[in-house]
């Protein structure tokens, strides 16, 4: 693309990474993310959030965790979107204890659950009684 005169910056990389993640091409998105870094560009919170969302959507929570840790190590700190996306990934994978730990961390940093995360938790009420960790999540939300 650069050979065609297109000057790639973080915004353009982020748009391309987002499109690849939405198209379920997470490996290509990861490659492009690494290319961005190798070009001396610094991914921002939005770029990391898109990658974390892509991994969570595909059920690749270990990879999402790696990006979460890398994000902080590179001085790019999670925002409310980061936490909410990650929490929903844990909830979707029935990793309720991990979701609760992350939720408590999020609240401790002054963030709150967004409407989508709350909706996930409300919808989980139908499975109440099946998992003690889920019970704790529901109790934390007063449900």
Domain parsing of the chain, residue ranges: 1-77, 96-143
pTM assigned to the model: 0.84
pLDDT: is 54 or 128 the higher one?
54
- Position 96 scores a pLDDT of 84
Instruction: For residues 47-70, give the mean pLDDT.
Output: 96
pLDDT tens readout for residues 12-43: 999 999 999 999 999 999 999 999 989 989 99
What CATH number matches the domain at 1-77, 1.10.340.70, 1.25.40.10, 2.70.98.10, 3.30.70.330? 1.25.40.10
DSSP collapsed to 3 states, the chain: CHHHCCCCCHHHHHHHHHHHHHCCCHHHHHHHHHHHHHCCCCCCHHHHHHHHHHHHHCCCHHHHHHHHHHHHHCCCCCCHHHHHHHHHHHHHCCCHHHHHHHHHHHHHCCCCCCHHHHHHHHHHHHHCCCCHHHHHHHHHCCC
Whether 129 shows a pLDDT value over 90: the answer reads no
Lowest mean pLDDT, pick from 33-37, 51-55, 97-101, 127-131:
127-131
């Amino acid at each position: 693309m650069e050979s065609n005169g297109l000057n790639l910056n973080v915004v353009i990389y982020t748009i391309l990474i987002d499109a690849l993640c939405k198209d379920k091409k997470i490996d290509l998105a990861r490659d492009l993310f690494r290319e961005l870094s190798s070009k001396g560009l610094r991914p921002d919170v939005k770029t990391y959030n898109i990658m974390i969302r892509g991994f969570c959507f595909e059920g690749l929570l270990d990879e999402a965790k790696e990006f979460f840790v890398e994000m902080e190590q590179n001085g790019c700190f999670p925002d409310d979107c980061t936490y909410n996306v990650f929490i929903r990934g844990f909830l979707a994978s029935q990793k309720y204890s991990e979701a609760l730990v992350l939720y408590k961390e999020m609240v401790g940093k002054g963030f709150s659950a967004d409407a989508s995360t709350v909706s996930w938790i409300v919808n989980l009420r139908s499975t109440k009684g099946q998992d003690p960790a889920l019970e704790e999540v529901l109790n934390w939300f007063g449900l």
